[in-house]
Structure 1
């Protein structure tokens, strides 16, 4: 899990995919954290992406590393409504402070459950990480 965290942090931007009815939706994300041995992402509950994850929590993440490798993550996103989880996310990602507060009624954090990450490149065998 730590390798996935470090990979995505180094990318800066990663792309999160959800389902909206029968249509895939992909958008850029950038905030990740590890809290209580779980991997977290963050969004606002007024966004369509949150409604999509609530309706169908299966998500995909994809990013390309600076070394030409790429990562794909398949997981189930589980909402964590605890203030301390939201505060940890904001503390770990200071850029969120201009848009969110842990107690603003909008900030949401979700941890990834049953996650499988695959790091691949054209020059090496895929590395699979389950968490």
Structure 2
């Protein structure tokens, strides 16, 4: 299993994982964290799904630095950080899977081709599987 397959397997095996973005405020940069739950491997890239109407998308446009984490009982937690690449390169298959996933969460979309539904990847990514013993085991991406 490749490192990216390991990350996708990890993220899709838990109900939710958390993505942190940077929100620019009058008081300065502030972290903003929210739950996500869609990740898919396509053409060697991990695809994530959101909407162009959401705060996280606007925040990634302004500052692409992101970090995600998830904890899997008995397996430690994963950390992945890098820069969001908002160029939507999702295939029809990935787009359909993301659409179905988002609808399953209770979101309303017209179709997989809804212009608001968008996919992104993370460039310059680094990842680790961490454990309570303090170990940070790098994942080769």
Q: TM-score, normalised by structure 2?
A: 0.82
Residue of structure 2 in register with 1:115 after alignment: 125
C-alpha RMSD of the superposition? 2.0
**SS state of the match for residue 12, structure 1?**
coil
CA distance, structure 1, for counterparts of residue 7 and residue 40 of structure 2: 11
Larger Rg: 2
**SS state of the match for residue 86, structure 2?**
strand
Residue of structure 2 in register with 1:106 after alignment: 116
- Tell me whether 1:57 sits opposite 2:64 in the alignment: yes
CA contact (8 A) 1:14 1:29 kept: yes
- Tell me whether 1:79 sits opposite 2:86 in the alignment: yes
Could you say if the C-alpha distance between residues 57 and 86 of structure 1 is closer, same or farther in structure 2, counting changes exceeding 3 Å?
A: farther
- Tell me whether 1:94 sits opposite 2:100 in the alignment: yes
Q: TM-score, normalised by structure 1?
A: 0.87
Q: CA deviation at 1:122?
A: 2.1
CA contact (8 A) 1:90 1:97 kept: no
| Residue 26 (structure 1) aligned to one of 19, 33, 39 | 33
- Tell me whether 1:70 sits opposite 2:52 in the alignment: no
CA distance, structure 1, for counterparts of residue 124 and residue 92 of structure 2: 21
Could you say if the C-alpha distance between residues 29 and 10 of structure 1 is closer, same or farther in structure 2, counting changes exceeding 3 Å?
A: same
How many residue pairs get matched? 130
Any gaps of 5 or more consecutive residues in structure 1? none
CA contact (8 A) 1:75 1:115 kept: yes
Runs of 4+ in structure 1 deviating by more than 4 angstroms, as ranges, are: none
Q: CA deviation at 1:93?
A: 6.7
Q: CA deviation at 1:87?
A: 4.5
CA contact (8 A) 1:86 1:108 kept: no
Q: CA deviation at 1:86?
A: 6.0
